[in-house]
Structure 1
């Protein structure tokens, strides 16, 4: 598995999702450039359909069709992503993903890589569909916003184990801790350094879903070198409830 000197790993796309953003310049440019552009600006129905939410070939526009809708789609997604983005301190951002954010990412990757075959699109679906939450789940991408070589050298070693340090604190004091899948964990082979991008899934019980709706919810980082708490806005909570509920 290829890696850079800071311990970032580009997961084989046939196995799992690959990093789609980082402020570290050693992350692979095709993914980094697309996601950073999308984060800043980037239509389609933004409500999540009931039942199986995963994307299929029928949901993905071909290159010409996407080019016609792209400006409007990306403009619309600015607001969608604003509702789903949470800043945790100065260098960490958490984006809660849904069907539309992943459709956007897939369309942009297809456009960047000029994919025209069903096989190529299916590979993108395989990469990104796991980040679409099913009822009772939240899925999130955690980004470390490191903008200089000095920050990279300082923070990546400091934040080792970060992937196990993010939780959601509910109004009754209980927590739902984010988990990474085995394939992503396998890429984090250095215990002394973290990566700049992590993919997290939060699994809720039905009771926890109702508790989420009932009162304040906070995102908590309890990594010893970066103790941070950010309360979700009511707008973000309402948006995420559309993921948690059927």
Structure 2
């Protein structure tokens, strides 16, 4: 999957005109890409559209119009675009209560090393940038890449694979199998 190109980024005024339709389409596209992992964690498999939406929304929210600012957002979020034989997912620790969330983020220290995608029973570790790891806690949002073998990629593209997302942390275990709609989206990403 190729990264978002500068020519795809709309000026703020142009984006406002299409924003409602574009957001609605991408949000609908993300539904089969979202995986609930227990009560407090979920993950979303990213693709070009989800990344483009994130870039446009950041530019809109922060009112960024300079080329250097646009380039920074593109460089940051293009990291989420999966490469060949790769899946990209964003993991969210979703706890509304700030006190409970803060305590849980401390208890989940090391979470970034506990996530994997299981393809036909074999685990592919989800990896993230080690620069984002904190010594005393984890964060509420994690960005992961999952490298697949040629065989795993082919099985997902052929929609024959059994695929699950796992969290194997001493304080939190969850495993969620993907349904056919989710696997179809991953197959599109790998094609």
TM-score range, shorter chain: over 0.9
- Structure 1, gaps ≥5 residues long: 1-51
**CA distance in structure 1 between the partners assigned to 2:132 and 2:124 by the alignment:** 24
Answering whether residue 147 of structure 2 is matched by residue 199 of structure 1, we say no
Q: Deviations over 1:109-133 (max 9, x none)?
A: 1111112222221111111001001
The number of residue pairs the alignment matches comes to 189
SS in 2 for 1:152: helix
Query: Partners of 2:134 and 2:111 in 1: how far apart?
Result: 13
User: After superposition, where does 1:97-108 map in structure 2 within 5 Å?
Assistant: 97-108=46-57
> Structure 2: which 5+ runs fail to align?
none
Higher strand share: 2
CA distance in 1, matches of 2:170, 2:4: 38
Alignment correspondent of 1:237: 183
Deviation at 1:63, TM superposition (A): 0.8
Q: Secondary structure at 2:79's aligned position in 1?
A: helix
The residue aligned with 1:227 is: 173
Q: What is the aligned partner in structure 1 of residue 122 from structure 2?
A: 174
Provide the rounded CA distance (Å) in 2 between the counterparts of 1:141 and 1:124.
Answer: 17
Runs of 4+ residues deviating >6 angstroms? none
Which of 132, 153, 178 in structure 2 is aligned with 1:209? 153
Q: Secondary structure at the residue paired with 1:101?
A: helix
1:178 is paired with a residue whose SS is: strand
Give the TM-score normalised by structure 2: 0.94
Query: How many Å apart are 1:154 and its aligned residue?
Result: 3.0
Please, what TM-score do these two structures have when normalized by structure 1?
Answer: 0.74
CA distance in 2, matches of 1:80, 1:65: 22
- What does the per-residue CA deviation read over 1:29-82, in whole Å, with 9 as the maximum and x for residues that have no partner? xxxxxxxxxxxxxxxxxxxxxxx5111110001011101100111111221111
Maintained 8 Å contact 1:96/1:141: yes
The structural deviation recorded for 1:159 is 1.0
